[in-house]
Amino acid sequence: MNSDDSDKKGESPLFSKRVISSHLQSLGYPEKSLINMLKCGEDSYEHIIAECDCGGFLLDLKHKCSLRTCPSCSKKRKRRIRRKYLPFLQSQKITPTNFLYFLTISPKNYPSLREGLEHIRKSFSRFLRLQYIKERVDAGLYVIESKQSSDGSWNIHIHAIIYGRWLDNRIRGFCLDCNRPAIMKYDYSEKKYYCANAKCKSTNVIVNENSKLVELWRASSGREVNMNIQKQSSVSYTLNYMLKYISANKDDFATPEAMADYIFITRKRKLINTFGKFFKYKPPEDHPKICPNCNKEIHYYYDYEVKKILLASRKPPEYDPGNGISELLPWQLR
């Protein structure tokens, strides 16, 4: 693979691995991690042995970078997280008072990605400790997503799956036609609030600025925010919907340097977390792989003797240092 080429057909050459890796190197990104990024998807010249009652076979292992910006590694991460958390979500009993809903918290844009990630994480932690939230939320899973706006600022927001009682995000006010306090709804086509009373629906209303939930977030973070809650009926659909936010792609960034900054800043930073009952949850062990021929469990293990034999007859490729990295570590056996 020529790392000077675009990662995907049709992708802008500005987002080639050469441009990104060069900027990562200038930031001081670890050289081993850089090489893993450049070699992701290539043959690692390592193998595992799979055995069952009908025999055994070798499985080639590929290099993987595990980056959130890598389409291949992101798919594997999504499958792993889905296997881990779906059983727990399915075990939660849906009642008239306790159910599953999807919460989006989108504060005002941050000028700095690093400061924004730290601020929103601490703010959400304080938000969860509020008495109102603790009384209503039993368990949850959330992910922090980041996108760069055209002006260079960062839209850093939270998507969360929550199980528990409903959180009040309704806008209230006073209807001058009903002459009483009322819940307000928003007409997106007219861009106006109106009385939620089905017999009224008047736009002659006085609207409170924020919902209770928004006020609680402002108290926790000191920042303006938009919040949205949607009740969910399908556990599997909700988890699948959320998992699309755990990865990042070139459309989330204005420049390749911004993508490199994201890779550098989020390295070893946990962006998907659990809280409540979810926090101490231990997922069940993966179901064993079954051979379709003998219908017996397949066992996987690593054989160093087999590796020596294979490597004696196979020579690893040489890497051209003209890929944007001034010096690459030589290929070494692990």
| Mean pLDDT along residues 251-269 | 90
- Burial class from Cβ neighbours inside 10 Å (0-12, 13-18, 19+) for residue 328 reads middle
Looking at the predicted structure, is the pLDDT value of residue 331 above 70? no
- For 53, which DSSP code? T
DSSP designation for 205? E
Q: With contact defined as beta carbons under 8 Å apart, do 105 and 160 qualify? A: yes
pLDDT at 310: 54
Torsion of CA 298, 301, 304, 305, to 10 degrees: -30
pLDDT in tens, 131-177: 999 999 999 999 999 999 989 999 999 999 999 999 999 889 999 99
Kindly state the average pLDDT of the residues 247-258: 87
Structure confidence at residue 161 (pLDDT):
94
Q: What is the mean pLDDT of the chain?
A: 81
Looking at the predicted structure, is the pLDDT value of residue 332 above 70? no
| pLDDT tens, residue by residue, 217-250 | 999 999 999 999 999 888 888 898 888 888 888 8
Handedness of CA 91, 92, 96, 101 (dihedral sign): negative
**Range of 2-16, 79-93, 289-303 with top mean pLDDT:** 79-93
**Sequence ranges of the domains in the chain:** 13-65+288-323, 71-166+211-280, 170-210
Neighbours of 93 (CB within 10 A): 7
